[in-house]
Amino acid sequence: MAAHLRTRWPDHPERHLCHETIYRALYQGAKGGLSRTLTRKLRTGRPLRKKRRRSDQRMPRFVAPAVLIDRRPPVIELRERLGDWEGDLVVGARSQSAVATLVDRRTRYLRLVPLPDRHSAGQLRDALIAALSKLPQQARRSLTWDQGSEMSRHHELAPYFTDGIFFARPGSPWERGTNENTNGLIRQYLPKRTNLSLHTADDLCVIEQRLNNRPGKTLSWQTPAQAFTAALAL
């Protein structure tokens, strides 16, 4: 909107607004602002702005030291090999339910890991171990996650990856861009503010198959399933 105003009336600065002015009008409410019902029209649907902590002021969450993303082997950045995964939680209403997502950086192959009984560090560890045990060793090289407390037992998962586990910097989701983009697709099937525990393992398998059989431009119009199978055969 702010850019559109400048483009449409370039010679009338009195009609220009910066984006922060628009947000303040929405969130300020009755005190000289717009109707608070308009916040429902925002993509986030968020009624209030959340105050963000600075990343350097966040308390450490892990007993075992986390290895940051800048210490990953350079080969991971190249997307030339199978088995370098990015992971995260897709969380439901009031953070009461969640599904873990794993995406292979090279092939964009997706694994959805059900967490029917909450998503504590121990429960996530057990669920990921069960999922990882079904993958061949050549498909388990590294994992990159954010610094959520659910990964506080990451040291117990590290033996399942030949190159270990790495963590993005706090407040830097773009450092796991493949996973973030895939989570956006997953949200079409697992919407925010819903109870994700209602989705059974079979339901998640159906979603997996749909996304793994979706051709992608980055894969030269192969599907992730085709790319994953081809990479395993190398």
102-149, pLDDT tens digit by residue? 999 999 999 999 999 889 999 999 999 999 999 999 999 999 999 999
Give the strand pairing for 142-145 and 110-115: unpaired
Check: CB of residue 17 under 8 Å from CB of residue 2: yes
**218: alpha, beta or left? (left if phi > 0; alpha if psi -120 to 50):** alpha
pLDDT band at 30 (very low <50, low <70, confident <90, very high): low
User: Contact at 8 Å (CB) between 205 and 189?
Assistant: no
Q: What is the pLDDT of residues 56-83, one digit of tens each?
A: 545 445 656 789 999 999 999 999 999 9
> Can you tell me which residue has the tokens 């000289």?
32
Strand order in the sheet with 142-145: 110-115, 98-104, 84-91, 142-145, 165-167
Strand partners, 110: 103
The candidate with the shortest Cα–Cα distance to 148, out of 129, 176, 126, is 176
pLDDT of residue 32: 60
The number of residues making up the chain comes to 234
Cα dihedral 73, 79, 84, 90 sign: positive
> What pLDDT is attached to residue 53?
54
pLDDT at 157 over 90: yes
* Cα 85 from Cα 178, distance rounded (Å): 9
Residue spans of beta strands (DSSP E) within 105-195: 110-115, 142-145, 165-167
DSSP letter, residue 58:
S
Higher-pLDDT residue of 62, 186? 186
Mean pLDDT (the chain, rounded) = 89
Task: Catalogue all structural domains in the chain, each as residue range(s) with its CATH number.
Answer: 2-41 (no CATH), 69-214+222-233 (3.30.420.10)
Band of the pLDDT at 171, cuts 50, 70, 90? confident
Collapse the DSSP code of 103 into the 3-class scheme (helix H, G, I; strand E, B; otherwise coil) and give the result.
strand
- Give the mean pLDDT of 35-50: 68
Amino acid identity, position 82: L
pLDDT, position 54: 56
The number of angstroms, rounded, from the C-alpha of 95 to the middle of its chain's C-alpha atoms is 15
